[in-house]
Structure 1
Amino acid sequence: MASESDRPTSLPLRDRVEELLSHEGPLPIVAAGDPVLRRPAEPFDGQLDPALLIRFVVALRATMHAAPGVGLAAPQVGVGLRIAVIEDPAPVPEEVRLARGRVPQPFRVLVNPEYEAVGTERAAFFEGCLSVPGWQAVVARPARVRLTGLDEHGRAVDEEFSGWPARIVQHETDHLGGTLYLDRAELRSLSSNQAMADLWNEPVPHRAAQALGFMLPG
């Protein structure tokens, strides 16, 4: 992965995307510490022509699958545009599905998305990020949100999400504002992937909260 100083940040966004797409394979994912992850992304307003936008979306989807992940925002590949993709086949046990509300989500493109909480209920689960590899932490988020924005064709999106899909759209939309999940996390819960596999692999993080000394909502 190139450092921020090595990356051609002076390139116009169109040229930056063309440069990324000129290479074979998944796009490189930038890691925490790279300033692109901390800058609010530019609203999309035609910086990429329709054909280039579709090529970029296809590359984001392929990169998300290769990682693997259930969402990816443009800043995570060094492109400061308010564009993200999500997709979740949700191959989880029934007890996890019920506890987390994790249900399959089709592939979606989010352009200039914004969300707002619906109601006051909050849910807290371990969450990870492709730009913070190797670690997870518990994040309390609104259990239901209203998402507005556009899709890749410019059509309006206005939809409510609940359960795990609500978590995914919040996580990816946060990226577009320069926010990482760690900014919202209970830092006492921060755990390596190995600790997660050995100790905290449960549908709801009750044991982790008791052992690591943090509170869950409710």
Structure 2
Amino acid sequence: MSSWFLFSGLLFTLSSAKMTLQRFLAAYRSFFFPSPVKPPFLHICQVGDPVLRSPAKIVNPEQISSPEVQQVMIQMQQVMKRYDGVGIAAPQIGIPLRILALEVTPKRERELGAEVYAAREMSSLPLMIFINPKMEVLDFTKVVFPESCESLRGYSALVPRYKAVRLTGLDKRGEPLELESKGWIARIIQHEMDHLDGRLYIDLMDPKSFQNDAWQKINTHQGRVKIQFYEK
């Protein structure tokens, strides 16, 4: 009887070890050889991805209520929140459609300080999603400020933008939507509209101002710095 229990225990141990090994190998394959993922992504595409350099397509108004288009907008919101962004365009999650989202929460003033907030003419904006947006320049005065992009993560440069613009389009229900803005929100609009036309801020920047935003940290730590793509 004791021999039977010992034999059964050995079989159980071997079986458990086999299952543990199988789980380990599955996790290893998943990490180092992940299965292809199709857009819309839950991450932001990086420069080099052809979708960022191709003009986005107009959304058929009859398709706005479709599950596919609605899902794109849901994931745009999720990704913008995940990356703590103020704007996002559908191509940034791998979908070449003319959809953009904007949102500037009040916490920006606390993060940047009242002085910087005022100097950049920043203001809060509730979440707004524009489908098939069109932009009209209201004030052709060019304003130059540092600008960055989650599709070129870790870098920034000085970029000139028009001071005031009007954005029109359709909302997520297909109803007409309009926004007149100036200052920083106008800059965000122009930045996201560029994404829909296959442009990036590096196409408009002052080349000499282009920088890695961690350059001081790199010098302070004598180059021993790990620049992460995603921290959260």
TM-score (norm 1): 0.75
1:58 aligns with 2:74: yes
**Secondary structure of residue in 1 paired with 2:206:** strand
Residue 30 of structure 1 is matched in structure 2 by: 45
Deviation per CA, 1:50-87, whole angstroms, max 9, x where unpaired? 34433322211111111121111110111000011111
The one-letter code matched in structure 1 to 2:49 is D
Written as runs of structure 1 = structure 2, the 5 A alignment for 1:109-148 is 109-148=129-168
Counterpart of 1:164 in structure 2 is: 184
Question: Deviation string for 1:11-48 (max 9, x for gaps)?
Answer: xxxxx54xx5xxxxxx1211111111011000111445
Aligned-partner SS, 1:171: helix
Q: Name the residue aligned to 1:103.
A: 123
CA contact 2:64–2:173 (8 Å) conserved in 1: no
Answer 1 or 2: which has greater helix percent: 2
| Unmatched tracts of structure 1, length 5 or more | 1-5, 9-15, 21-26, 199-218
Aligned-partner SS, 1:102:
coil
1:211 paired residue number: none
Superposed displacement of residue 138, structure 1: 0.6
Q: Which residue of 2 aligns with 1:188?
A: 208
- Measured after TM superposition, the shift of residue 197 of structure 1 is 7.9
Aligned-partner SS, 1:62: helix
- Report if aligned partners of 2:52, 2:92 keep a CA contact under 8 Å in 1: yes
Amino acid across the alignment from 1:136: S
Counterpart amino acid of residue 82 in structure 2? A
Aligned residues: 178
Task: Identify if the C-alpha distance between structure 1 residues 171 and 197 changes in structure 2 by more than 3 Å, giving closer, same or farther.
Answer: farther
Instruction: Compute the displacement of 1:115 (Å).
Output: 1.2
Q: How far apart in 2 are the matches of 1:170 and 1:197?
A: 31
Q: Structure 1 runs of 4+ off > 6 angstroms? A: none
Amino acid paired to 1:42: K
Structure 2, unaligned stretches of length 5 or more? 1-35, 219-232
Q: Please state whether the residue corresponding to 2:140 is helix, strand or coil.
A: coil
CA contact (8 A) 2:52 2:199 kept: yes
